[in-house]
Amino acid sequence: MNLAELTKTQSIPTKKGKNFTAIDAGKFADLFQYELQHPLRDKPVYGKLFIKDHLDLNSMQVSLNRLPAGIAVPFTHKHKANEELYIFIGGKGQIQIDGEIIDVQEGSCIRVAPDGDRSWRNNSESDLYYIVIQGREHSLKGDTFDDGIPGEQPVKW
């Protein structure tokens, strides 16, 4: 199942190079332009854009999200193998993990282990914006800086 194909509406222009893929998904306030047929829901979802397949990502799945005021995700879910990170970048809401409720706002970052039973909602009067990232649990190896290789040439612009 290719999520790039499931994201209907307009296609997203893609720029590719040997070592990169780039898209411009547009402003977060305009995320409703993307329509997604989520397999757990009978109607299309608006305001959630999965970008893995658009970008050829192979270490993570990522979604960009706008959840309108007063809306709650209508189910909880767990994962089989993937850790999830929720980064809230605007608005206010709540997330619950195994029944424990946490208030979230810009700058709230929540790691959820695969077995955490999670759901979230926008219980405020303005839109909630967030990014969700999933990666395979225990897949990252070594130290952050050890993985980096400094360039040999000065930066040119």
Window 88 to 117, contacts with a second copy (CB under 8 A): 89, 94, 96-102, 105-113, 115-117
Residues 136-155 binding a second copy (CB under 8 A) are: 136-151, 153-155
Shortest distance, CB of residue 124 to a second copy, whole angstroms?
13
Least Å distance, CB 127 to a second copy, is 14
- DSSP conformation class of 75: S
Alpha carbon distance 22, 63 (integer Å) = 15
The least CB distance from residue 37 to a second copy, in Å, is: 10
Residue 9 engages a second copy in binding (rule: CB under 8 A): no
Query: How far from 82 is each of 64, 114, 152, CA to CA, in Å?
Result: 18, 5, 36
Q: Cβ contacts of residue 77 below 8 Å, gap of 6+?
A: 40, 117, 118, 119
Site string for a second copy, 40-79 (x = CB under 8 A): x---------xxx-xxxxxxxxx-x-------xxxxxxxx
> Between residues 94 and 124, which has the closer beta carbon with respect to a second copy?
94
Report yes or no: 32 and 65 within 8 Å, Cβ to Cβ: no
Residue in 4, 25, 69, 71 binding a second copy, rule: CB under 8 A: 25
- Regarding 128 and contact with a second copy (CB under 8 A), the answer is no
In the bound state with a second copy, the residue whose beta carbon lies nearer, of 42 and 145, is: 145
Interatomic CA distance for residues 28 and 72, integer angstroms: 19
Q: Is 5 in the site for a second copy (CB under 8 A)?
A: no
Q: 133 forms bridges with which residues in the sheet?
A: 62, 85
Contact status: 124 vs a second copy (CB under 8 A): no
Q: Are 112 and 86 in contact (CB under 8 A)?
A: yes
